[in-house]
Structure 1
Amino acid sequence: MSPVDAVKSVLSQYAGFHGRARRSEYWWFALFSVLINIVAAILDGALGTRIGSDPDSTGVIGLIVTLALLLPSLAVSVRRLHDTDRSGWWLLIGLVPLVGFIVLLVFFVKDGTQGSNRFGADPKDAPHAAAPRMA
């Protein structure tokens, strides 16, 4: 999956918590989110739209970007957990300091289950299933 296709896929399923997401889809969107937040921070610094006097404070543009990407980030994270045959409720383990982050990182890096699982068809098989068969 190309980076552009991955980001398009996540944004087209803005609040879609059903189904599964491939590793590439999750990680390309994560990189996209980081880069957009860096651009927002630079714009906030250049335009002087930071909230507060602290140089590390979030700006108005950064806050808008963060809020805009929050729901698709949660949705793709849940779909990524679904790909590993785990419930989206596993995201709550991220609230446990340090250990939660490590557990989620392992889940997000791990390859998804092959074939269908209780959350849907294997996303790696989707392009092949949609292709017309030759007679």
Structure 2
Amino acid sequence: MRLLSFLFSFEGRIGRRTYWLYFVLPLLVIFLVVAVAVPPLSFNRTFVVLFLLTSWPALAVGAKRCHDRNRSGWYQLIGLIPVIGPFVLMKERSARLSVAAWPNKHPSFIHEPRLPSTPWNERGWLCRHLDHYGKSGRS
């Protein structure tokens, strides 16, 4: 995924590691550098400018993280609920869940390796056999 589509596009999904390593961590470093480097009297103006510059990328990357959890990007509005909203949103964004854990309606730009065919996985003969009997009504 290219940097511009990562930061400004609301389509696709990203994993937890990508979210933390390529968005949250650099953003925290930028905010810490600004907090140390900017004089106290002009900190408020600098913080407002930095907040405005990072709002759109934060919403876009957050929407991709919601897509990975099989939720709409609009789910981020839960963060507007006073007191508990930001905690619920942060828990949702950092939850441990595989990208391929369930069928996802959002397209993936992440390479998902295919499992070799064994009797026990979805490509194997046993799972196809059990699916066949499950669909026909017999048990």
Q: What is the TM-score of this pair, normalised by structure 2?
A: 0.67
Cα 1:84–1:112 change in 2 (3 A) is farther
- Stretches of 4+ moved more than 3 A in 1? 8-12
Percent identity (aligned)? 31
Match of 1:108 among 82, 93, 106: 93
Correspondence for 1:132: none
Q: 1:21 matched to which residue of 2? A: 14
- 1-side partners of 2:14 and 2:6: how far apart? 11
SS in 1 for 2:65: helix
For 1:122 and 1:14, how far apart are their aligned partners in 2?
Answer: 14
CA distance in 2 between counterparts of 1:67 and 1:122 reads 28
Equivalent residue, structure 1, for 2:32 = 38
Q: 1:90, CA displacement in angstroms? A: 0.6
**1:64 pairs with 38, 41, 49, which one?**
49
Q: How far, CA to CA, are the matches of 2:63 and 2:3 in structure 1?
A: 12
| Residue segments in structure 2 that go unaligned for 5+ positions in a row | 115-139
CA distance in 1, matches of 2:4, 2:49: 16
Q: Deviations over 1:57-96 (max 9, x none)?
A: 5243x33332222211111100000000000111000011
Match of 1:80 among 43, 62, 65: 65
Aligned match of 1:117: 104
How many equivalent residue pairs? 111
The alignment's C-alpha RMSD in Å is 2.6
For residues 10-30 of structure 1, what are the alpha-carbon distances to aligned partners after superposition, in whole Å with 9 as ceiling and x for unaligned?
A: 555331100001101211211
- Distance, in Å, in 2 between the alignment partners of 1:122 and 1:15 is 15
How far did 1:49 drift? Answer: 6.0
